[in-house]
Amino acid sequence: MTVRLGTMQDWPMHVMRLVDHAEREHPDGEVVSAWADGTMTRTNWAEIAQKARQMSQALVAAGVKKGDRVATLAMNHERHLIAWYGAIGMGAVLHTINPRLFPEQLVYIANHAEDKVLLYDAMMKPLVDAMKGQWKTIDTYVCFDPPEGWDGDQGFEDWIAPYDGDFHWAEADERDPIGLCYTSGTTGNPKGVIYEHRSMILHALAEIQPDCFNLGKRDCALPIVPMFHANAWGLPWAAPLVGCKMVLSADYTAERMVDLFREEKVTHSAGVPTIWVDMIAHIEKTGADLGPLHTVTIGGSAAPRAMIKWFRDRDIEVGHAWGMTELSPIGSLAGKPNGWDDMSDEEQIEYTARQGRVPFGIEMRIIDDEGNTLPRDGKSSGDLQVRGAWVVDTYFKAEESALTEDGWFSTGDVACLHPDGSMQITDRSKDVIKSGGEWISSIELENAAVGVDGIAEAACIGIFHPKWDERPLLVCVKDGTCDVDGEAVVDGIKDQVAKWWLPDAVEFVDELPHTATGKLSKKTLREQFSDYSFEGVVAMAGRD
Amino acid sequence: MTVRLGTMQDWPMHVMRLVDHAEREHPDGEVVSAWADGTMTRTNWAEIAQKARQMSQALVAAGVKKGDRVATLAMNHERHLIAWYGAIGMGAVLHTINPRLFPEQLVYIANHAEDKVLLYDAMMKPLVDAMKGQWKTIDTYVCFDPPEGWDGDQGFEDWIAPYDGDFHWAEADERDPIGLCYTSGTTGNPKGVIYEHRSMILHALAEIQPDCFNLGKRDCALPIVPMFHANAWGLPWAAPLVGCKMVLSADYTAERMVDLFREEKVTHSAGVPTIWVDMIAHIEKTGADLGPLHTVTIGGSAAPRAMIKWFRDRDIEVGHAWGMTELSPIGSLAGKPNGWDDMSDEEQIEYTARQGRVPFGIEMRIIDDEGNTLPRDGKSSGDLQVRGAWVVDTYFKAEESALTEDGWFSTGDVACLHPDGSMQITDRSKDVIKSGGEWISSIELENAAVGVDGIAEAACIGIFHPKWDERPLLVCVKDGTCDVDGEAVVDGIKDQVAKWWLPDAVEFVDELPHTATGKLSKKTLREQFSDYSFEGVVAMAGRD
C-alpha cells in the first residue's frame, strides 16, 4: 500500500444518498401514483424521505435487524417506493416478489429468502391468504392500500403513523446487500440476485446518461415495468438522482397509459414490446394523443422494426435495450452512434433494431462451444457473456459463484457483436439450432415466418438429424386470412435467411404452447415434438 | 461484517478502464488535434490506447516506479492525452503543470512534486531551459512536438517507438492517486490536489449526464480549457467514457476556434467567459458560422447575462458551471429545472445566470461567521462549503486535512442557495464587505457599476469604518465616452442594489491592478488604498 500523500474525500456509494439528495435538492420533485382503483395521489421527495424514515422506525420496532429481508408483493405506487427506501434505510434487504410466479415458486422464494415482513397490495389479498400458512418466516403483514371496510392486516399509513421520522439511516458498507430479486429459469427453483448499494448507484449513474435513458430534472418518467421486475429497470433509483417527475401506475391498460402520458406530460417511458403493441393498437383505433412523450425504452424482448418505425414516425426516440435481472438489469441500450445524422432512415432503423451498446461499466464477449472468444465482426454468433459493475457474481445462498473460471457471467443468450460496438441478440442458447457445427437462429426464422401472409405465429426448434446433428423444424399457426402451406412459407422466407438455414419441414398446429407469462414455451413444444423425425419427410430445402 | 449471501461482481473503478472501454467499444472514436504550428492530425481511441501502452513501457524503462510523478507542460493535443493515460497506466501520478505560473512557483511545484519525468511542448523550451538547473528531481525530458531541425531533448514519438505496446496496466486500488494539479492561492505556496481513480470515474459519470455536459457518442466536444487546468474540466475522461469525438487545440484564438467548430462539426464546447467574449466579438465582426454547435458550458467565473442571451438567441444551450481544482473541477452546473418550458425568457435567463445545481455526488451548504448553516431561501448569503465524491480532503504532502472538523471543504466563495436547488455565487469570501454584521457583495456592486455609461471597469473594496466596521469604496476606470462622476455612478446603480449597499465613496483611477492571469487584483488594490479613510469624504449614500 502506497502511503497516501493527499486524498480525495471518503464518500461511500449508498442508495440512501439518493433519497437524501432528492430531499435536499429536489424536495418538490413530484411522484404521481395512479392506483388500481382508478384514483390518483401526488407526493414529492420531501414527503417520501420523511415517510421512509418513519417506516424504518416501524421496522426497527417490529424487530427487523440489519440484513433481514423485507418483502413486497405490490404494483407500482408511491407507498411501494417509500417501502423500498424505508426497508433499505434501516439496513434490511428489500425482496420484491413477482406475483406472477407459480404458487409453489411463491412459497419457495419467501421461505428461501426468510422474509420477515411482507407489504402487499389489497388486490393480492387472496394470494396472501392462500400463502400465509406456508410462509414460515413472515411475522408482520402490512397492506399498502386497505380499502374502505378492510378487516385484514394493518394498513401502511396506520403502521408508520406512530413514528416521527427522527431516524438516521443505518450505517452500511457500500458492498452491503440492499435488494433481492428472484429470477425463474425453465428448470429448477428460482434463483435470487442480490443487489448492493454500490452496484445500484453505478447502474443509476450509467442509466441516466444521454446514450441510455437520457434523464434530466425537467423530464417526467413513467415506467411501464413493475417494480418487482428487476427494479422497474432502475427508474426508482434514477429519478431521485436527477430529480425528475415520476409517474407510477398500478395497471398498464393502454387507455390508462395514454391518459397518463397526456395528463401528466410524460416525456420518457419504458416497457416490453407487448405493452407497446397494445398501446399502438389503442392509439391507431382511437387517435389518442401521446402528449409530449419523446423517448421510449423498449426491452425484455426484441423490439420489432415496425414498432421502432411507428415511434420514429411520431418523432419519438426509441432506445432499444437488453438486460437481465442478473444485470440490475441494464446490459446495453441503443444510444445513437457517431454519424447518426448522416445515416439513411433504413440504416437508423437497422441500428436501432439491434440491442444497443454497453454503457461504461459493462463488458461483453461472445464465445463458441469450445470457449473461444469470437470476433466482433457483425457476422459471428456465440454465447453472450458479460461482466461488470452491476452484474451478479454469486446468487443468494449459492455455494459457489455463477461465473466462469475467468470471471464472466453466461447470459444464456446468443448474440453477434458488430464492429461499431452494437450487440444483436440472435437467439437463446437453449433454442439455437446446432447444425453441422454451425448455429442457426430460431428467432430469425420465426421473425421471417410471421412476415408470410397467412401465418399468425411461428416457432422453430431443432430436430435430431443423423448427418447434421440438428436441422430446423418450423411449427406454424395460421391466421385464417388465406390459404398457406409449407412450401409457401419456405418460399416467403428464402430471401431473408441463408439457404442452409431454411427449415427441413414446416408443420401446422392450431395453437402453440405458452408459459404463464405469455412467452412461447419451446420447452413444451420440444416435448410435443420429441418423437418427431425428418425420416419420411421430404426435405423441403435446407442442407441436403 | 455481514456474511455475504450473494454478491455482485467486484469491479474496481479505475481510469484505465476508460481507455480500455473506448478501445473496445469506440475504437474509431476520433481525436483531432489542432497544433500550435497550424497543422492538424487525427487519431482514434485504438491508437491512443496502443501508444499509451508503449509510453507506459518507456516509463518503466526510464526507471519510473508506481506512485512517482510524471509531469507535463503542454497545451491540448493528442500526445498530451496519450501521456495522461500512459503515465497513469504504469502506476505513475500525472502532474499537469500550468505554464502560466510565476517562475518561482514553477520551481517550487516541480520540486515539491518530486517530478521524475517532464514531457513538454516545443513552445515551452525557453521556459524549460531556464528551469532545468533549478528542477532537482527530473531526470528524463521528452519533447512532445520537436520541429524540423530540433536539437533539444528526445521527441515523444521516438521515445515510445522502441516499445511494442504489449503491456498490462499496473494493478491499482481505486483510491490510489492518478493526478496532481497545483492551485495557486493569493498567499503562500501553491497547493497540490491529488485526484484518484475512483473520484475521477465518478466525476466523469456525473459530468456526462443530461443536466451537466449532456455528452453522448454522437457528439463532438472541443474543450477550450487547457488540460493543465483542472483536467480540461474532465473532458479527456468523459470523451472515452461515451465514445464521442474530441477536438483538442493548442491555441484558443477566436478565429481558429470558429474554424474548428465549423469544420469538425463541434456540438459541445466549454470555456471561461473571456474566451467567449473574444469569440462573440469575432463572430459579430465577421459573421462567421458556428456550425452545429448546440451546447456550451461556461465556468471559471460568472457568465454575464448578455453572453447567456447571445447564445440563446442562436439556439445554443448554455450550461453555467461552477467548480474548482479541488473539485476535479465540477461542483455545479445549470441543467434545466422542472417547468423549464413554462418559464418566461427572463426567468430562464435568470435561472441560467446562477451557477447551477449540484449533481448527485456533491453536497453544498452555506454558513455564517459563527458557523451556523444558513437557510436555502434564495436570500441568505454565506461561505460556501462542499463535500462529496470528488472533493479534496488532504492536499499533497499536507500534514492535515483541509476540511472542517465536520468534514466540509470551504471554497472561499460566498453564495446563496435557492429553494429550487440552484446556487448563486455572490462574492469571494475575502472580498465580501462586512458592514454592521451583514454582508455586501463587492461583485454585485462592480457588475452594476460597469453598466453605468462612461465606466469601463470597477472594483469594490471594504474600507474601515468606525461604526459599521467596513463600508464599500468603489474604484472606477472611465472609458472616455462621456463625462461621469461619483454621483452619476451611484445614481446609475441605486435601483439595482439595496440602499445600504451603496458605496460611501467613488474614486477614479487611470488603471486597476491585475494579476498575471488577467484577473482583477483586489489584494493590490487594497494595498494601494490601505491609508484611505472615509473621514473628510462626504458620504454619498449608504448607511449614514
CB B362 within 8 A of CB B386: yes
Q: Which of B67, B210, B341 sits opposite A210 (nearest CB)?
A: B210
pLDDT of residue B120 exceeding 50, the answer is yes
**Count of helix runs (H) and strand runs (E) in chain A:** 15, 26
List A265, A434, A494, A523, catalytic entry: A434
Chain A residues with beta carbon closer than 8 angstroms to that of B208? 209-210
Pick the closest to residue B197 from B61, B13, B457 (CA basis): B13
B221-260 pLDDT tens trace: 999 999 999 899 999 999 999 999 999 999 999 999 999 9
For all residues of chain A together, what is the average pLDDT? Answer: 93
pLDDT of residue B2 exceeding 70, the answer is no
Lowest pLDDT segment from A56-65, A215-224, B33-42, B475-484: B475-484
Chain B residues with beta carbon closer than 8 angstroms to that of A265? none
The model's confidence at residue A538, banded by pLDDT at 50, 70 and 90, is low
As a whole number, mean pLDDT of residues A469-486 equals 92
Pick the closest to residue A92 from A192, A15, A190 (CA basis): A15
- State how far the Cα of A485 lies from the Cα of A481, in Å rounded to an integer: 13
As a whole number, mean pLDDT of residues A272-294 equals 92
- Interchain CB contact of B171 with A (< 8 Å): no
A211-258 pLDDT tens trace: 999 999 999 999 999 999 989 999 999 999 999 999 999 999 999 999
A 471-500 residues with CB < 8 A to B: none
- Interchain CB contact of A342 with B (< 8 Å): no
B40-85 pLDDT tens trace: 999 999 999 999 999 999 999 999 999 999 999 999 999 999 999 9
pLDDT of residue B150 exceeding 60, the answer is yes
Which residues are registered as beta bridge partners of B367? B373, B383
**C-beta atoms surrounding B187 within 10 Å:** 7
| Type and span of the H or E element at B96 | strand B93-96
In sequence order, what are the residues at sequence separation of 6 or more whose Cβ sits closer than 8 angstroms to the Cβ of residue A84? Answer: A72, A94, A227, A236
CA-to-CA separations, B53 to B154, B165, B287, B424, B446, in angstroms, rounded: 19, 5, 44, 44, 51
Instruction: Quote the pLDDT of residue A217.
Output: 96
- State how far the Cα of A48 lies from the Cα of A31, in Å rounded to an integer: 9
CA-to-CA separations, A315 to A351, B256, B317, in angstroms, rounded: 17, 36, 21
Instruction: Quote the pLDDT of residue B543.
Output: 41
Instruction: Quote the pLDDT of residue A517.
Output: 62
List b or e across B259-279, with b for residues whose CB sees 16 or more CB atoms inside 10 angstroms: ebbeebebbbbbbbbebbebb
In sequence order, what are the residues at sequence separation of 6 or more whose Cβ sits closer than 8 angstroms to the Cβ of residue B6? Answer: A177, A180, A192, A193, A194, A392, A394, A395, A396, A397, A398
Q: How far apart are the first and last CA of chain A?
A: 65
CB A321 within 8 A of CB A299: yes
Q: Decide the pairing of beta strands B409-417 and B423-428.
A: antiparallel
A308-362 pLDDT tens trace: 999 999 999 999 999 999 999 999 998 899 889 999 999 999 999 999 999 999 9
In sequence order, what are the residues at sequence separation of 6 or more whose Cβ sits closer than 8 angstroms to the Cβ of residue A318? Answer: A296, A297, A298, A303, A307, A308, A311, A312, A334, A352
The model's confidence at residue A3, banded by pLDDT at 50, 70 and 90, is low
Which letter does DSSP use for residue B303 in this model?
P
A362-382 pLDDT tens trace: 999 999 989 999 999 999 999
Lowest pLDDT segment from A246-260, B23-37, B180-194, B202-216: B180-194
Of residues A537 and B176, more confidence is placed in B176
Pick the closest to residue A201 from A226, A227, A176 (CA basis): A176
Instruction: Quote the pLDDT of residue A407.
Output: 97
- Interchain CB contact of A400 with B (< 8 Å): no
A218 to B338: CB separation less than 8 angstroms, yes or no: yes
pLDDT of residue B541 exceeding 80, the answer is no
pLDDT of residue A544 exceeding 50, the answer is no
Q: Which of B8, B25, B196 sits opposite A195 (nearest CB)?
A: B8
- Interchain CB contact of B230 with A (< 8 Å): no
**A276 catalytically annotated:** no
| Predicted model pTM | 0.91
List B326, B411, B426, B470, catalytic entry: B326
Q: Locate A474 and state its grid cell.
A: 418450423
B217 to A1: CB separation less than 8 angstroms, yes or no: no
**B494 catalytically annotated:** no
Chain B residues with beta carbon closer than 8 angstroms to that of A395? 6
pLDDT of residue A513 exceeding 50, the answer is yes
A18-34 pLDDT tens trace: 999 999 999 989 999 99
CB A206 within 8 A of CB B216: no
Q: SS3 of B324, please?
A: coil
B209 to A242: CB separation less than 8 angstroms, yes or no: yes
As a whole number, mean pLDDT of residues B497-505 equals 91
A175 to B4: CB separation less than 8 angstroms, yes or no: yes
List A47, A157, A183, A524, catalytic entry: A183
As a whole number, mean pLDDT of residues B143-171 equals 97
- Interchain CB contact of A397 with B (< 8 Å): yes
- Interchain CB contact of B392 with A (< 8 Å): yes
Instruction: Quote the pLDDT of residue A516.
Output: 66
Rg of chain B taking only CA atoms, in angstroms: 25
Q: Which of A6, A194, A335 sits opposite B6 (nearest CB)?
A: A194
- State how far the Cα of A183 lies from the Cα of A193, in Å rounded to an integer: 7
pLDDT of residue A447 exceeding 90, the answer is no
**A114 catalytically annotated:** no
Q: Which of A217, A335, A391 sits opposite B217 (nearest CB)?
A: A335
Instruction: Quote the pLDDT of residue A542.
Output: 46
Q: Locate A450 and state its grid cell.
A: 410471421
Instruction: Quote the pLDDT of residue A543.
Output: 41
A180 to B6: CB separation less than 8 angstroms, yes or no: yes
- Interchain CB contact of A409 with B (< 8 Å): yes
The model's confidence at residue A49, banded by pLDDT at 50, 70 and 90, is very high
The model's confidence at residue A474, banded by pLDDT at 50, 70 and 90, is very high
Q: Which of A177, A206, A360 sits opposite B6 (nearest CB)?
A: A177
pLDDT of residue B369 exceeding 80, the answer is yes
Q: Which of the listed ranges A47-56, B268-277, B490-499 does the model predict with the highest average pLDDT? A: A47-56
Q: Decide the pairing of beta strands A69-73 and A115-120.
A: parallel
Pick the closest to residue B542 from B450, B489, B471, B457 (CA basis): B471
Helix axes A197-207, B197-207, angle to 10 degrees: 40
- State how far the Cα of B121 lies from the Cα of B147, in Å rounded to an integer: 10
**B245 catalytically annotated:** no
For all residues of chain B together, what is the average pLDDT? Answer: 93
CA-to-CA separations, A273 to B70, B386, B445, in angstroms, rounded: 53, 44, 59
Ranges of H-type helices in B287-328: 305-313
Instruction: Quote the pLDDT of residue B516.
Output: 66
As a whole number, mean pLDDT of residues A28-43 equals 95
**Number of A–B residue contacts, CB under 8 Å:** 222
List A439, A468, A470, A522, catalytic entry: A439
The model's confidence at residue A521, banded by pLDDT at 50, 70 and 90, is confident
Instruction: Quote the pLDDT of residue B544.
Output: 44
- Interchain CB contact of A407 with B (< 8 Å): yes
pLDDT of residue A2 exceeding 60, the answer is no
- Interchain CB contact of B206 with A (< 8 Å): yes
Q: Which of the listed ranges B62-76, B290-304, B523-537 does the model predict with the highest average pLDDT? A: B62-76
The model's confidence at residue B538, banded by pLDDT at 50, 70 and 90, is low
Instruction: Quote the pLDDT of residue A1.
Output: 42
A 57-76 residues with CB < 8 A to B: 66-67
